């Protein structure tokens, strides 16, 4: 489990701009999102940060969204960062046929919409994520872009909450899993 050298919102508010931007970029791979959220500090409470982060996400251009999406692996691929690995933990050990279908539909989705299939996985099993993917394949591009932005907001919020949680909570979580 990765430990950070600060605890909670007050410590986040006190980080240097560079460190705050880095921490935020770990949550969302949009550099403009990370910069704008970091520059808005100090936040009065966690909800103020979460609401502001949502507002900035709503303002991102398609180019900014594409940058954010580049930080997310395909559902079913081996995640290259701890946050994605934790979020996609429900896919681990899935039936080979489900994983194969996920891989094929991921490619079809990317061809149809021009970006990676993004869903708030949050430990959901592969067959559930596959079902959501099948449903979203029927969306028109504008509807799907809105759905993707909504899923990104859920992921960002989850990662921000985790970022604000004191490191001891991670240690307690690790001990409970042992």
Assess whether pLDDT exceeds 50 at residue 143: yes
Q: Which of 5, 61, 56 is nearest to 33 (CA)?
A: 56
Mention every residue, 6+ apart, whose C-beta is less than 8 A from residue 38.
17, 20, 21, 24
Mean pLDDT of 124-148: 96
Tens digit of each residue's pLDDT (9 = 90 or more) over 88-107: 777 787 888 999 999 999 99
Assess whether pLDDT exceeds 80 at residue 142: yes
- DSSP secondary structure string for all residues of the chain: ----S--HHHHHHHS-HHHHHHHHHHH---HHHHHHHHHTPPPSSHHHHHHHHHHHHHH--HHHHHHHHTTSPPTTS--SSHHHHHHTGGGTT--HHHHHHHHHHHHHHHHHHSS------TT--HHHHHHHHHHHTTS-HHHHHHHHHHHHHHHHHHHHHHHHS-HHHHHHHHHHH-
For residue 39, the model assigns a pLDDT of 98
Show the domains of the chain with their CATH numbers.
8-166 (1.10.3330.10)
Residue 169: pLDDT band by 50, 70, 90 thresholds? very low
Assess whether pLDDT exceeds 70 at residue 69: yes
For residue 7, the model assigns a pLDDT of 65
Mean pLDDT of 162-171: 68
Mean pLDDT of 36-40: 98
């Amino acid at each position: 489990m990765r430990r950070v050298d600060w605890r909670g919102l007050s410590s986040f508010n006190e980080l240097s701009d560079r460190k705050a931007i880095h921490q935020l970029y770990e949550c969302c791979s949009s550099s403009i999102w990370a910069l704008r959220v970091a520059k808005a500090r100090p936040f009065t409470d966690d909800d103020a940060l979460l609401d502001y982060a949502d507002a900035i996400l709503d303002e991102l251009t398609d180019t900014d969204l594409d940058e954010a999406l580049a930080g997310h692996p395909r559902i079913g691929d081996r995640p290259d960062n701890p946050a994605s690995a934790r979020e996609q933990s429900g896919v681990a050990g899935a039936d080979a046929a489900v994983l194969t279908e996920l891989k094929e539909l991921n490619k079809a989705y990317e061809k149809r919409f021009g970006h990676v299939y993004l869903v708030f996985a949050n430990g959901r099993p592969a067959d559930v994520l596959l079902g959501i993917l099948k449903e979203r394949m029927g969306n028109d591009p504008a509807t799907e872009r809105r759905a993707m932005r909504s899923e990104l907001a859920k992921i960002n919020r989850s990662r921000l909450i985790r970022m604000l949680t004191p490191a001891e909570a991670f240690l307690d979580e690790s001990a409970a899993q042992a």
